[in-house]
C-alpha cells in the first residue's frame, strides 16, 4: 500500500503541474489562440465554398409550380384580373437550390395606383424567409394588371341538405344566419351566380342540429363562381322531427230530450276518452276534439247508454274506433206540505174531544216522482191523548210515511177535551130522561117479576 500511495501522489502532483503549465502557456500566447480560431473558420468557409459553393439559379425549377403573385392595395370598388406567376433568380448554396419551392417565397404587386378600365405593368416584389437565400430578381420583373369596377348583388342563402334521415323522421324548414349575403365581383361573374349555397349533411339525424358551414356561389348548373361574399360562412340549424305524431284527443257528446217528470240528467260520460291517435304530424296537430251524436234521454227514468262511431281523418289511426256515451238519470229531490186528518188514540175515560175540524200540517221530502203520487191515505198522523186532562192543549203528532218519504217537520195539534158536565145541556137532559125511563122500565120489570111469583 505504501508504494501504491506514493505513485498516486506522484501522479496527482504531475497532473496539477501540467494543468498549471498549460494555463500559463495560454495566458502568455492568447493572441496566438485567437489567430488560430480565425484561421480555422476561414479554412472551413474555404472548404464549404469548394464543396458546396454559392450559385445563382432560377427557382423553383421548371418541374415545380411557380410563385403566385398577389395583388395588394387594390382600390375600393375595383376588381383586378388574374395575374400570372413568377420564378425567382436567387443566390444560394448549390445543395439548397433543388429544395427551394414556391412556398419559400412571396410575390406581390402594389395596385394602389390602378384605375378602373386601365391595364398597367406593375413591378413584382419578391421576398423570402430563408436567411441563407438572397433574392436577386423575379422573372418576369413586371406583370400587367387590369382592373374593372366591381358590381354587387344580394342573394338569399340556400340550404342544400345531403344524405337521408332515418325512417320515420323528416326535415323541417332550415334556419340560416345570415339569411342573405352580398356577392361582389366582375359583372359577368356576379350575373352568373344563381344562388349562394350552404351545404349540410343530415345523414342519421334524429334531432335538430346546428352547422357552421362554408358558403359557395354557384351557377344554375352547380359550377362554383369566383366572387367575393360579404360573409364566407353561415350558421345553419336543421330541424328534425318524427314524421308521425301520436297524441291524446278528447271525445265530446251530450244529450237531447228531457227525462220523465221528476227526473234529471246528473252526468254524461264517454268511454274511452281521450283516445290515442297517430297520423301525419300536420294532420294530428290540427285536430281538436272528436264530437259524437247526442244521446236521447226523452222520458227516461234510469241510466241510458248508447254506442257511437268515431270519424277519423284519412291517414289517421286510433286505438279504438267506437266509444260509449252514458247519461245518468236520477230522480230529483223535493218536498211537499200535507194537511192530514188526525187519528186520536188513548182518549182518557170520562173525557170527550170537542167538536171541530182537526188537521195536522206535515212537511215531507223525497224523490219528486214519489212525492207526486203521494195521497192522504199514504201518510197517517196519529195523536195520542194518553194522560191528557180536560181543556185545550198542544199535542205531539206521530206521522208514519211510506218508504222513501222523509218526514221533515210536524206541527203540534191543538186539541180540546171536555168533561161530561161541560157537555151540551140538551144532550144531558136527553140522557137523564133516558136514564129515568130505563129505571122505570126496570122497576116495572121488577114488579112484573114479583107478580109472576
Which CATH number is correct for 249-331, 2.60.40.10, 2.170.120.40, 2.60.120.10, 1.10.10.10?
Answer: 2.170.120.40
Of 335, 340, 358, nearest to 416 by C-alpha is: 358
Angle at 449 between CA 443 and CA 451, to 5 degrees: 105
Alpha carbon distances (Å) from 257 to 264, 290, 293, 296, 326: 11, 22, 13, 6, 14
- CA 436 – CA 430 distance, rounded (Å): 10
State the cell numbers at 28: 502568455
What local confidence, expressed as pLDDT, does residue 40 receive? 53
**Nearby residues of 26 by Cβ (< 8 Å), 6 or more positions away:** 33
Which pLDDT value is given to residue 35? 58
| Cβ-contact 383, 400 below 8 angstroms | no
Class of domain 151-242 (CATH, top level)? mainly beta
C-beta of residue 365 within 8 angstroms of C-beta of residue 334? yes
> What's residue 62's pLDDT?
85
DSSP notation for 17-50: HHHHHHHHHHHHTHHHHHHHHHHHHHHHHHHHHH
Q: 295-296 and 255-256: which strand pairing?
A: parallel
**What is residue 262's predicted lDDT score, i.e. its pLDDT?**
87
CATH class, range 54-149: mainly beta
How does pLDDT run across 47-60, given as a tens digit for each residue? 455 577 889 999 99
CB atoms inside a 10 Å sphere around CB 12: 10
DSSP 224-288: B---EES-SEEEEEE-EEESEEEEEE-EE--EES--STTEEEEEEEEES-SEEEEEEHHHHHH--
Q: What was the pLDDT predicted at 95?
A: 85
Looking at residue 434, its pLDDT comes to 43
Cβ contact 372:386 at 8 Å: no
Give the separation between CA 178 and CA 189, rounded to whole angstroms.
Answer: 22
Cα gap 47→90, rounded to integer Å: 22
Q: Cα 297 vs. chain centroid, distance in angstroms? A: 43
User: Would you say the pTM of this structure is higher than 0.75?
Assistant: no
How buried is 175 (Cβ within 10 angstroms: 0-12 exposed, 13-18 middle, 19+ buried)?
A: middle
What is the pLDDT at residue 276?
93
State which residues of the chain have pLDDT below 70.
Answer: 1-50, 421-453
CA distances from 220 to 109, 183, 194, 195, 226 (A): 35, 15, 5, 8, 14
What's the CATH code, domain 334-422?
Answer: 2.170.120.30
Contacts of 380 (CB under 8 A, 6+ apart): 340, 343, 399, 400
3-class DSSP state of 414: strand
Amino acid at each position: 500500500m505504501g508504494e501504491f500511495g506514493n505513485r498516486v501522489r506522484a501522479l496527482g502532483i504531475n497532473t496539477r503541474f501540467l494543468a498549471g503549465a498549460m494555463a500559463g502557456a495560454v495566458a502568455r500566447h492568447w493572441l496566438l489562440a485567437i489567430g488560430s480560431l480565425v484561421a480555422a473558420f476561414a479554412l472551413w468557409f474555404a472548404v464549404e465554398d469548394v464543396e458546396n459553393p454559392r450559385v445563382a439559379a432560377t427557382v423553383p425549377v421548371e418541374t415545380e409550380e411557380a410563385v403566385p403573385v398577389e395583388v395588394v392595395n387594390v382600390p375600393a370598388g375595383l376588381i383586378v384580373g388574374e395575374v400570372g406567376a413568377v420564378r425567382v433568380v436567387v443566390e444560394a448554396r448549390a445543395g439548397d437550390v433543388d429544395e427551394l419551392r414556391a412556398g419559400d417565397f412571396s410575390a406581390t404587386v402594389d395596385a394602389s395606383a390602378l384605375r378602373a378600365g386601365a391595364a398597367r405593368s406593375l413591378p413584382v416584389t419578391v421576398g423570402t424567409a430563408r436567411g441563407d437565400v438572397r433574392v436577386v430578381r423575379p422573372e418576369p420583373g413586371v406583370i400587367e394588371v387590369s382592373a374593372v369596377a366591381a358590381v354587387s348583388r344580394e342573394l338569399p342563402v340556400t340550404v342544400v341538405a345531403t344524405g337521408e334521415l332515418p325512417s320515420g323522421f323528416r326535415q323541417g324548414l332550415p334556419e340560416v344566419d345570415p339569411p342573405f349575403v352580398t356577392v361582389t365581383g366582375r359583372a359577368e361573374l356576379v350575373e352568373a351566380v344563381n344562388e349562394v349555397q350552404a351545404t349540410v349533411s343530415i345523414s342519421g339525424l334524429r334531432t335538430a342540429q346546428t352547422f357552421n358551414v362554408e358558403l359557395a356561389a354557384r351557377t344554375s348548373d352547380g359550377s362554383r363562381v369566383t366572387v367575393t361574399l360579404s360573409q364566407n360562412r353561415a350558421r345553419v340549424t336543421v330541424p328534425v322531427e318524427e314524421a308521425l305524431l301520436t297524441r291524446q284527443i278528447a271525445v265530446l257528446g251530450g244529450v237531447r230530450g228531457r227525462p220523465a217528470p221528476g227526473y234529471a240528467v246528473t252526468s254524461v260520460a264517454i268511454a274511452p276518452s281521450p283516445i290515442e291517435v297517430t297520423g301525419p304530424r300536420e294532420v294530428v296537430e290540427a285536430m281538436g276534439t272528436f264530437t259524437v251524436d247526442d244521446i236521447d234521454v226523452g222520458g227516461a227514468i234510469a241510466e241510458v247508454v248508447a254506442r257511437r262511431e268515431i270519424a277519423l281523418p284519412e291517414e289517421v289511426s286510433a286505438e279504438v274506433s267506437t266509444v260509449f256515451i252514458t247519461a245518468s238519470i236520477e230522480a230529483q229531490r223535493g218536498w211537499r206540505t200535507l194537511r192530514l186528518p188526525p187519528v186520536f188514540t188513548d182518549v182518557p175515560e170520562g173525557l170527550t174531544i170537542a167538536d171541530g175540524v182537526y188537521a195536522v200540517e206535515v212537511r215531507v221530502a223525497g224523490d219528486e216522482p214519489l212525492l207526486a203520487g203521494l195521497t192522504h191515505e199514504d201518510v197517517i198522523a196519529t195523536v195520542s191523548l194518553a194522560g191528557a186532562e180536560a181543556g185545550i192543549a198542544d199535542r205531539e203528532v206521530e206521522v208514519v210515511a211510506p218508504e222513501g218519504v222523509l218526514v221533515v217537520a210536524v206541527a203540534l195539534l191543538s186539541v180540546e177535551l171536555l168533561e161530561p158536565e161541560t157537555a151540551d145541556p140538551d144532550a144531558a137532559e136527553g140522557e137523564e130522561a133516558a136514564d129515568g125511563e130505563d129505571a122505570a122500565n126496570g122497576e116495572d120489570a121488577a114488579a112484573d117479576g114479583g107478580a109472576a111469583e
